[in-house]
Structure 1
Amino acid sequence: MSRIYLFDWGDTLMIDNPSLPGKMCDWPQVEATPHALETLRRLSQRAEIYIATNAENSVEADVRNAFLRVGLDDYIQGYFCKQTLGVSKGTPLFYHMIIERLNAVPAAVTMVGDTLENDILPAAEAGLQTIWYNPGHQPFTSTYAGPVVHCLTDILDL
C-alpha cells in the first residue's frame, strides 16, 4: 500500500465533548462520528491509516483506548500525538516529523481533518495532500482550494 491517510481525532473520527473533563478514553461514553466506521473499513483496504492529534492530555495509549472503545482501532496502523512528538499539530513541523517516522514522501500522504488552521493548512504547507472534512458547511475565507467533503464516506470517491 503506497497511500497513507492521516486523520484528525476529535470531531473528525470521534465526537469531542469539551464539557466532559479528563481524557476521552476515560469518559463514560465515547462515540464515533457518522460514517467513521464505514469509511475506515473501506479505506483500509487500499491505504494505511494513522491518527494525527493535538490532544492536550492524552498519550498514544489513551488515544488508542478511545478508538478501541468504538471499534475503530482495527483499521488504524498507528497514532501520532502532540505528547509523543513534542510538537503542536498546527505547525508544518508536526507533519514533517510524522513523514520522517513513516519514511514516506509528503505527496503520498493525505491529511483529513475538520479545522483548516490546525489540520489542513499546516499539512498542505508541509507538502501533504489534504481533505477538509466540513460536515457543518462552515464558510471560510482562506486561500484553501483543496477538496472539501461534508460526509466522511465522500473521501472514498476522491
Structure 2
Amino acid sequence: MAHLIGVQDESMIDTLLLDWGNTVMVDFPQQSGPMYRWPWVETLLGAEQSLSRLSQRYCCCLATNAADSTRQDIRQALDRVAIGQYFREIFCYRDIGHAKPSAEFFAFILASLGKEKANLVMIGDDLEKDYLGPMRYGVRAVLFDPCNIAPPGMLRVASWVEIEGMIETLNRSAVA
C-alpha cells in the first residue's frame, strides 16, 4: 500500500490517552480528596515540556480512574501546574461511571472522540489498568515505567522524554 506524504494512514496514532496520577502529575499518597485542593501539586519530570510538543501533533487526553475528582476538578489541578491547555479532553471514572480497564471505559472514550481503536495509544503507569486492559480491548498501550520493573517484551518508556520517540516508532510500524 502506498502512503502519501501528509496523508494520515487510518492506523496511525493521532490521540494520546494519558493516565493522570504518577504519569502526568505526582500522586502524593499522604494526600486525599480532589488534587486541586492539595497544598502542593507537581508534574512528573519532563511532563510539561513534552506535553507542549506532543499537544501540537496529537490530541492529548487524560484517562483516569480518579474517584475523588470530576473533570472540572482535574482541570483545576492541571491549571495549577500550567498544563491544562495541553489536554483537549478529560475522561474520568467519576464522570463516565466506568473504570479502567473495563471495555466500557474505552468504548466511551472512542465514541466521545469519534476515533477508531487504531488511532489511540494509552500511556500510564499501572500494568493492569493502563497497559493490559487497553491491549485486551484492542487499544495500543505503552507502560510508563520509570523504575524499569516491567516484564520483558512490553512496550515501555522510562521517562517523558522517551514518549515522543515511542509514538513515532509505533506510527512508523503502522505504515510499514
Shift of 1:56: 1.1
* TM-score normalised per structure 2: 0.84
Distance in 1 between residues matched to 2:151 and 2:21, nearest whole Å: 20
**Number of aligned residues:** 155
Equivalent residue for 1:16?
A: 27
Q: CA RMSD of the aligned region, Å?
A: 1.5
After the TM superposition, which segments of 4 or more aligned residues of structure 1 sit over 3 Å from their partners? none
Task: Output one character per residue of 1:98-144: Cα deviation in whole Å (capped at 9) or x when no partner.
Answer: 11111100111010000111111111112111111100112438xxx
Match of 2:170 in 1: none
Query: Which residue does 2:164 correspond to in 1?
Result: 156
Q: For structure 1, which runs of at least 5 residues remain unmatched after alignment?
A: none
Please state how far the C-alpha of 1:11 moved relative to its aligned partner. 0.1
Q: How does 1:68-79 map to 2 (within 5 A)?
A: 68-79=79-90
- Cα distance in 2, alignment partners of residues 90 and 125 from structure 1: 9
Q: Does 1:59 align with 2:67?
A: no
Q: Which amino acid aligns with 1:151?
A: S
The answer to whether 1:122 aligns with 2:133 is yes
Residue ranges of structure 2 left out of the alignment (5+ in a row): 1-7, 167-176
TM, length-normalised to structure 1: 0.93
Q: Percent identity?
A: 33
Is residue 88 of structure 1 aligned with residue 99 of structure 2? Answer: yes
CA distance in structure 2 between the partners assigned to 1:152 and 1:70 by the alignment = 16
Q: Is the 8 A contact 2:16 2:122 kept in 1?
A: yes
Deviation at 1:45, TM superposition (A): 1.3
Match of 1:107 in 2: 118
- Decide whether the 8 Å contact of 1:39 with 1:152 is kept in 2: yes
